[in-house]
Each structure stands twice: as structure tokens, then as C-alpha cells.
Copies of this chain bind each other. A is one copy, B any other.
């Protein structure tokens, strides 16, 4: 009886997965609006009506597709860097993994946007979109642990850095895809780390202040020189 239950549950999950996989392929091929429920059913080898036993409607299916993707990505990302790694190494590994994934699964990401940006009638439909939040929290963890170890400065704003990290990588991914140069991933990671390193090390402020003072004096001097003529 236990095995019966197990089998049942397994079958159910298998069915759900089959729908998601079928739906993903159809959505990626045609985009949300032109994806037909009938085609999804066909590929999943189910009757159309059966889809509705598992998902309330078309919207629920995209959401599931996107959620499934982020869940998967989150799981793999965690494997991409070891907890024993040095914090900068972890960060770099995460950046590498993220950019690689963005480039590779760009279309699924897009799908998420359609979902996110579409105005839906029924309130709370946009709830349950926090799979992305969970994923984003990976960054937070790396930073926080680095701070605990004393490697990262504590006076940085986590939300800002997170936005910088993911925002930069997403835009970079788009650029890579647009110019069709997925091989430049390494260069981008290097540059991003170069930007983040001094900031995270917390050594910038004093340096910068100093530089600023010098620069200001230089500017004044230049202006004087100009007046000498």
C-alpha cells in the first residue's frame, strides 16, 4: 500500500514534469501568446482536458515552467561553488555560472518577463514568483559569509550590490546574445570582479578621497595656468 501510494505520487509528478517539459518547448518555440494548449497536450501525449487537471490554466503553466527553471538553476548554482572556497572565488564562480546560464537559457528568462510584465486580472496571480528571490539570495549568502570571514567590508549595501551584480550580468548577457559572442563570458566576469574587488575589500574610500583631493588641486592649477595666458 505504501508502494501503491508512492507509485501514484510518482506518476503524478512524472505527469506534471511531462507537461512542464512539453510546455517549455512550445513556449520557447512560439512565445506565450502563440503557444497553443493543444500543442502542449500533443507533445505531452495527454488529452487537452488533462492539462487542466494539473494546472488551472495557461498562465499557471508558464508560471510553472519558469518556476521549475529557476528552481533547477538554483540547485545547480549551489553546486557550482564549494563552501570552502575563498569568498572572491565563490563570487566569481557564481557570476560565471549565472552569466553562462543567462546566455544559455535566455529564452526561458524572457518567458519569465512576459509572465512578470503581463497584467493579469486575478489578484495574487503574480504571487509565487519568489523562486527568483530564492535564487538571488545565493549572492547574499556569499557576501554575508565573506563579511563574516572578514574578507568583505561590512559597510556595503547588499541590495545595491545584488542589483549591480545581477543587473550587470543580465545586460551583459543580452549584449553577448545580441552580438552573438558567447565566448566573451570570461572577460566580462574578469571585469565585473575587477569592479567589485576593491569595493568589497573596502579599500576604496580612503584611496578615493585622497585621489579626489589631488585631482581637485590639479584642476585648480590647470585653471590658473589657463588664466596665465
**In the complex, are the beta carbons of B164 and A31 less than 8 A apart?**
no
Is the CB of A214 closer than 8 A to any CB of chain B?
yes
Is the C-beta of A128 less than 8 angstroms from some C-beta in chain B?
no
Residues of B within 8 A of A222 (CB): 217-218, 221
* Chief secondary structure at chain A's binding surface: helix
Judged by a CB distance under 8 angstroms, whether A163 is at the interface is: yes
Those of A188-209 within 8 Å (CB) of chain B: 188, 191-192, 194-199, 201, 203-205, 207-208
Instruction: Give the CA-CA distance A208 to B167 in the complex, in Å.
Output: 24
Roughly how many angstroms separate A113 CA and B31 CA in the complex, as a whole number? Answer: 13
CB–CB B205/A197 < 8 A: yes
| Contact A194–B208 (Cβ < 8 Å) | yes
Copy count, this protein chain: 4
A228 contacts the other chain (Cβ, under 8 Å)? yes
**A side interface size, CB within 8 A:** 57
Write out the residue numbers on chain B whose beta carbons fall within 8 Å of the beta carbon of A188.
Answer: 160, 163
Q: Is A168 an interface residue (CB 8 A)?
A: yes
Residue pair B208, A205 in contact (C-beta under 8 Å):
no
Give the CA-CA distance A226 to B28 in the complex, in Å.
Answer: 51
A169: which B residues are within 8 A, CB to CB? 167
A215 interfacial contact with B, CB 8 Å? yes
Establish whether residues B31 and A215, one from each chain, have CB atoms under 8 Å apart when the complex forms: no
Other-chain contact of A167, B168, B187, B198 (Cβ < 8 Å): B168
Q: 10 A-B contacts, Cβ less than 8 Å apart? A: A31-B119, A114-B118, A160-B191, A164-B164, A166-B167, A194-B199, A198-B211, A201-B205, A217-B222, A221-B225
